[in-house]
Amino acid sequence: MSSRIDKVQDLLHREVAKILIKDLDNPLLSSLVTISGVRVSKDLRYSEIFFTSLDEDIDKIEQELNKASSYIRNILAKRLHLKRLPSLKFTYDKSFSSSYKIESILNTLPEHD
């Protein structure tokens, strides 16, 4: 993977997290959502932004984030100096809940010496 794509991913990760905390008026999104990663396509046209949340209603949060994606993209366009700003798609990061389930299963197993 090129370093340009890595830099854009890191930049988007940082800036989207800041926007969720400071610029959105939606309390559901600003307090309960954490950006866990960003993946940008090779042509820099599309980005998938992964999030985790402590809230149980993941589908509602995902819908709200995707509804706000054009607003978030407009803020990014003003802050970032990129030739091409990728479109934003928010996706729940299932790896967090999967690792939590695996850990809880492992904790129930008896210890062996």
Which domains, and CATH codes, for the chain? 3-108 (3.30.300.20)
Confidence of residue 4 (pLDDT cuts 50, 70, 90): confident
79-103 confidence digits (pLDDT tens): 998 888 999 999 999 876 666 667 7
5-24 confidence digits (pLDDT tens): 999 999 999 999 999 988 88
Percent of the chain with pLDDT over 90: 53
Within 13 A of 42's CA, how many CA atoms are on the CB side? 2
In sequence order, which ranges of the chain are alpha helices (DSSP H)?
3-22, 27-32, 58-67, 69-79, 94-108
Instruction: Output the CA–CA distances (angstroms, integers) from residue 94 to 19, 52, 64, 103, in the order listed.
Output: 22, 8, 18, 14
37-67 confidence digits (pLDDT tens): 999 999 999 999 999 988 778 899 999 999 9
To 10 degrees, what angle do helices 3-22 and 69-79 make? 110
CA dihedral for 91, 48, 53, 93, sign (positive or negative)? positive
